[in-house]
Structure 1
Amino acid sequence: MVAPPDNDVLWARGLHHTHGSTPALTGVSLGVREGEILAVTGPRGSGKTTLLKCLSGHLAPAEGEVWFNSAPVHTLSSPSRERLRLDRFGWIDTEPQLVPELTAWENAALPLLLRGTGNRSARHTAMEWLDRLDVGMCARRRPARLDQSQRQRIAIARALAAEPQVLFADEPTAPLHQADGTQVLRTLTAAARSHQITVVLATHDPDVAVLADRTIALLDGRRTGTSASANGSPDAESRAACSLSV
Structure 2
Amino acid sequence: MVAPPDNDVIWARSLHHSHRGSPALAGVSLGVREGEILAVHGARGSGKTTLLQCLSGQLVPEQGEVWFNSAPVHTMPPLQRERLRRDRFGWIGPEPALVPELKAWENAALPLLLRGVSRRAAKTTALEWLERLDISSAAPKRPYALVRAEQQRVAVARALVTTPSVLFADEPTAALHSTDRTHVLRTVATAARSHRITMVLATHDADVAALADRAIMLADGRRAGSSQTAEPEGRAACSLSV
Range class of TM-score, shorter chain: over 0.9
Moved over 4 A (4+): 231-234
- Trace 1:192-231 onto structure 2 (pairs within 5 A): 192-227=192-227, 230=231
**CA distance in structure 2 between the aligned counterparts of 1:60 and 1:97, rounded to whole angstroms:** 22
Decide whether aligned partners of structure 1 residues 233 and 203 sit closer, same or farther in structure 2, where only a CA change above 3 A counts. closer
- Say whether the 8 Å CA contact 2:31–2:238 is kept in structure 1: no
Query: Secondary structure of the residue that 2:57 maps to in structure 1?
Result: coil
The offset of 1:234, in angstroms, is: 5.3
- Say whether the 8 Å CA contact 2:32–2:238 is kept in structure 1: no
- Trace 1:84-233 onto structure 2 (pairs within 5 A): 84-227=84-227, 230=231
Tell me the number of residue pairs that the alignment of Structure 1 and Structure 2 aligns: 238
**CA distance in structure 2 between the aligned counterparts of 1:158 and 1:20, rounded to whole angstroms:** 32
**CA distance in structure 2 between the aligned counterparts of 1:171 and 1:134, rounded to whole angstroms:** 20
**CA distance in structure 2 between the aligned counterparts of 1:36 and 1:114, rounded to whole angstroms:** 27
Decide whether aligned partners of structure 1 residues 213 and 60 sit closer, same or farther in structure 2, where only a CA change above 3 A counts. same
Same amino acid, percent of matched pairs:
67
Query: Secondary structure of the residue that 2:167 maps to in structure 1?
Result: strand
Which amino acid is 1:151 matched to?
Answer: Q
Query: Secondary structure of the residue that 1:227 maps to in structure 2?
Result: strand
Tell me how large the CA RMSD over aligned residues is.
1.2
In structure 2, which of residues 206, 229, 239 is the aligned counterpart of residue 235 of structure 1? 239
**CA distance in structure 1 between the aligned counterparts of 2:200 and 2:106, rounded to whole angstroms:** 26
Query: Secondary structure of the residue that 1:226 maps to in structure 2?
Result: strand
- Say whether the 8 Å CA contact 1:40–1:48 is kept in structure 2: yes
Query: Secondary structure of the residue that 1:180 maps to in structure 2?
Result: helix
Residues 91-125 of structure 1, C-alpha deviations (whole Å, 9 max, x = no match): 00001010000000000000001011111110000
**CA distance in structure 2 between the aligned counterparts of 1:142 and 1:159, rounded to whole angstroms:** 18
The offset of 1:78, in angstroms, is: 1.0
Unpaired stretches in structure 1, ≥5 consecutive residues? 239-246
Which amino acid is 1:211 matched to?
Answer: L
Which amino acid is 1:3 matched to?
Answer: A
Unpaired stretches in structure 2, ≥5 consecutive residues? none
The offset of 1:237, in angstroms, is: 2.0
**CA distance in structure 2 between the aligned counterparts of 1:225 and 1:118, rounded to whole angstroms:** 46
**CA distance in structure 2 between the aligned counterparts of 1:88 and 1:157, rounded to whole angstroms:** 15
Q: Give the aligned partner of residue 76 of structure 1.
A: 76
Which amino acid is 2:123 matched to?
Answer: R
- Say whether the 8 Å CA contact 1:168–1:200 is kept in structure 2: yes
- Say whether the 8 Å CA contact 1:13–1:237 is kept in structure 2: no
**CA distance in structure 1 between the aligned counterparts of 2:239 and 2:6, rounded to whole angstroms:** 13
Q: Are 1:25 and 2:29 an aligned pair?
A: no
Q: Give the aligned partner of residue 243 of structure 1.
A: none
Which amino acid is 1:214 matched to?
Answer: R
Which amino acid is 2:144 matched to?
Answer: A
Q: Are 1:62 and 2:62 an aligned pair?
A: yes
- Say whether the 8 Å CA contact 1:14–1:63 is kept in structure 2: yes
**CA distance in structure 2 between the aligned counterparts of 1:203 and 1:233, rounded to whole angstroms:** 20
The offset of 1:227, in angstroms, is: 3.0
Decide whether aligned partners of structure 1 residues 233 and 38 sit closer, same or farther in structure 2, where only a CA change above 3 A counts. closer
Residues 143-183 of structure 1, C-alpha deviations (whole Å, 9 max, x = no match): 01111000000000010111100000000011100111001
- Say whether the 8 Å CA contact 1:11–1:236 is kept in structure 2: no
